[in-house]
């Protein structure tokens, strides 16, 4: 099946993703915006999913788990929703909003937070230092957290 969408309403692409992945979605009636995805060669379902998440992020939206459904929310609204939290080595590094807890060993979390607050994170992200465990708590797109991780390493 082709995965080309030119100026397609977001709701049309959500419907296509639901059919392709078998995932259930909930979105507001007034979901607006258009998406263009051009994939001239066959792509995998995983690649289609990543393209879908990226196109939502470009429109200021993300997916948030809610039981057996995924809610499509504006990123600013999703920050206070039930987004997934990761503390171990694994975390999704795509364009999905997540919270990541990073324990630091050789540098103060407060120093990192002050230094990176306006330099590294994206405009939709949030970063806080938790001094008791010398940890950073970052809510942002997984791809932006990946960038922060590379700088920290």
Task: Return d(Cα 121, Cα 147) in angstroms, integer.
Answer: 9
Mean pLDDT by 10 residues, the chain (153 residues): 86 93 90 89 92 92 92 87 90 92 94 81 83 94 91 86
- pTM here is 0.81
């Amino acid at each position: 099946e082709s995965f080309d969408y030119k100026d397609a309403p977001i709701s049309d692409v959500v419907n296509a993703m639901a059919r392709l992945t078998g995932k259930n979605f909930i979105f507001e009636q007034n979901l607006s915006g258009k998406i263009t995805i051009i994939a001239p060669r066959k792509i995998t379902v995983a690649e289609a999913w990543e393209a879908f998440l990226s196109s939502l992020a470009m429109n200021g939206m993300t997916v948030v788990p809610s039981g057996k459904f995924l809610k499509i929310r504006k990123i600013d609204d999703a920050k206070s929703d039930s987004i997934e939290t990761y503390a171990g080595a694994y975390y999704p590094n795509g364009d999905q909003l997540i919270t990541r807890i990073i324990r630091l060993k050789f540098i103060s979390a407060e120093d990192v937070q002050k230094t990176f607050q306006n330099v590294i994170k994206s405009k939709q992200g949030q970063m806080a230092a938790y001094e008791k465990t010398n940890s950073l708590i970052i809510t942002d797109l997984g791809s932006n957290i990946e960038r922060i991780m590379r700088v920290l390493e």
